[in-house]
Amino acid sequence: MGKIKTIGVLTSGGDAPGMNAAIRAVTRAGIYNGFNIKGIYRGYDGLINDEIRPFTTENVSGIINRGGTILKTARSKEFETKEGREKAYKNIKAEGIDALVIIGGNGSLTGAMIFAQEYDISCIGLPGTIDNDLFGTDNTIGYDTTLNTIVECVDRIRDTAQSHERIFFVEVMGRDAGFLAQNSAIATGAEAAIIPEDSTDVDQLSNFMERGIRKSKKSCIVIVSESPKCGALYYADRVKKEFPGYDVRVSILGHLQRGGSPSARDRILASRTGCGAIDAIMQGQRNIMVGVRNNEVVYVPFSDAIRSDKPFDRKLIKVLDELSI
């Protein structure tokens, strides 16, 4: 592969607060170091449909504080096919793009890894996902903002729970990872968290019900990680059947968790990893995710970053158990 002159940047998958800060960092750090930058709209679909535009510093002015992504985002089914990736590569070549920076989560970086294996193009990933489920970085872009949004919502729900002596099951995002649920439970003083890393059976349900009732009469908050089979509605129904007599409510926070102005931590993380992506390209790095671990910028191979076993600190479960008595 020859000298890299032009870098394309895109956002893919679910939006996350801080993506705009990352776009800004990649664009400005790239221009500062002599590269041409091109913005790719609507994720991998934009590569396939040639929605590619030159970017200048003006394109990213005034966006660091904005949620969402100015480049828009999508989950591309067509890019999952060989034919779709071939179209994308032809457009990349026609646009003179020599390297790609992909801001997204597990699925987005998996797509980047496959694309890089098939074609001679450097792909650099930035960890843009509220789920915090990418291995090799302490936090992902959007996680801190989302955690703070959940805390604000649960604090308000707590007022109603206590006023009406209700048990609230609050469902949060996180997919297969319980980082949002567990840490928001600790931060809000919830009585329990139901997370994928700590499967809950009938006895556990009884235990946290008893802890909550003993502490605050019939008022209780339980944070639940979203799940197609065992979400907040499932556990609320169980309480109604197994512990009749309690006033049970469900609050599914849904997409309000994704929006909002990014926190300072997310803006800084996005800025550091965005600059790190340009540094990686200048060093000749290929097919890695840029993360921050122990306050140091690190390069993580895609194959490691997307694996599903990011360590979950089980001491957090003990902390919640001790504090929820």
Active centre residues (catalytic) = 131
How far is the first Cα of the chain from the last one, in angstroms, to the nearest whole number?
61
Question: Assign residue 145 a region: left if phi > 0, alpha if psi is -120 to 50, beta otherwise?
Answer: alpha
CA distance 13 to 133: 14
CA distance 70 to 75: 16
Whole-angstrom CA distances from 307 to 78, 84, 106, 110, 301 are 23, 24, 8, 10, 10
For the four alpha carbons of 262, 43, 103 and 10, in that order, the dihedral sign comes to: negative
Please give the biggest Cα pair distance in the chain. Answer: 71
Burial of 285 (0-12, 13-18, 19+ CB in 10 A): middle
Whole-angstrom CA distances from 296 to 26, 130, 205, 276, 299 are 18, 20, 40, 10, 10
DSSP single-letter state for residue 49: T
CA angle in degrees (0–180, nearest 5) for 286-23-145: 110
